[in-house]
Amino acid sequence: MLRPLIRLLSSLWRPFGRRGGGVGGGGGDGVAGRAGLLWSRDLGRCAGGEFSMAVVQANRVLEDQSRIESGPFGTFVGVYDGHGGPDAARYVCDHLFAHFRVCQVNSCCLDAEISSGPQGVTCDGIQRAFLATEESFIALVSQLWNTRPDIATTGSCCLVGVVCQQTLYVANLGDSRVILGKKVGSTGEIAAISLSNEHNANVDAVRQELQAQHPNDPQIVILKHGVWRIKGIIQVSRSIGDAYMKHSQYNREPINPKFRIAEPMNMPILTANPSIMFHHLEQSDSFLIFASDGLWEHLSDQKAVEIVHSHPRAGSAKGLIKAALHEAARKREMRYSDLKRIDKKVRRHFHDDITVIIIFLNHEKVQDHMQVPQFSVRSALDH
């Protein structure tokens, strides 16, 4: 019974575009382009409204990955911020959505009452998709251990949003963020509403959670150069990958000594279990900003929504990234024009890779889930 359902769902959600920013169906009306290390898709149509998308590279090899999928039950947004290399983020971008499709079917068949939303989207299915992606990536680490042990030290933050009719589902690992731009008051002012939990050791609640989980380890979080790090190594407490912080068999030679933990690992230090929430969309909910932490290092939530609210939709994601880069240049007492001339790798001293996806909500289209464009878009920059 499951196989016919999976085939049906796969046909409904089959990507029409090619990898690297290609789209099909109604998503092909935007303008995509590249200027140096900045790639953007200015504006396109999706289920429930319109989207703008952009990414700028700072690392020698781009560690951010992102994609949008639009289909009959809504819009899927994924922002994957890698660390320790690009492998985990690329893997998640390639596989998490496929797991999401299958797990939604399985969850609906197992229990239609589990946190179920319109068209069968469930919190349980989203969680299963994250854990299935983690399991398959760790299996890849095991497979490649003898030839590429360094893959055990790569990981990825994962921010996923699903806009389905009048409900937004958000699942998160790490410190990427989704912010709602909400109209308030009679004058149409815009307010920033955070819709995701951050899993970063610099957050008090995260440190307390880690200390409660590891009461016998006084070194579970360490302050180094003004930054809290788990075991003195990593800032995020939840991720896909980072096998060396979850399974003792990968925390040994031949991985780089800086990743090795001296004391025995009796339990996983990091987890791939996401924080999941849902939000019922209202008419005053104007747009959603999904972005990796590279944006939020330079712009506050409120500043970001004000920039989007006060500028045209077309190119809005690119505009947010440029605003962050202007701020990064200002902090280093240099001109933006000079920052743009700095090549990747050296750029990382000034800012991180930054990914931004903005969904502009059209509440009439959000409710009319059958008449939607079907397409797949993936950010496109050279690796």
For the chain, give every domain's residue range. 2-200+236-378, 201-235
Provide mean pLDDT across the span 40-58: 94
DSSP 35-95: ETTEEEEEEEEETTEEEEEEEE--SSS--EEEEEEEETTEEEEEEEEEESSSHHHHHHHHH
Structural domain 2-200+236-378, CATH architecture: 4-Layer Sandwich (3.60)
pLDDT band at 366 (very low <50, low <70, confident <90, very high): low
pLDDT above 70 covers a percentage of the chain that reads 84
Question: Comparing C-alpha atoms, which of 170, 160, 174 is closest to residue 83?
Answer: 174
Region for residue 234 given its phi and psi (left: phi exceeds 0; alpha: psi -120 to 50; beta: otherwise): beta
> Which sign, positive or negative, has the C-alpha torsion 194, 191, 300, 313?
positive
82 contacts 377 by C-beta, under 8 angstroms? no
The per-residue pLDDT of the chain, averaged, comes to 88
At residue 332, what is the residue type?
Answer: R
3-state secondary structure of 215: coil
pLDDT digits (tens, 9 = 90+) for 25-40: 344 456 678 888 999 9
Helices 87-110 and 123-144, interaxial angle, to 10°?
140
Residue that has been written with the tokens 């496929």 in this structure: 98
Instruction: Look up residue 181 and give its DSSP letter.
Output: E
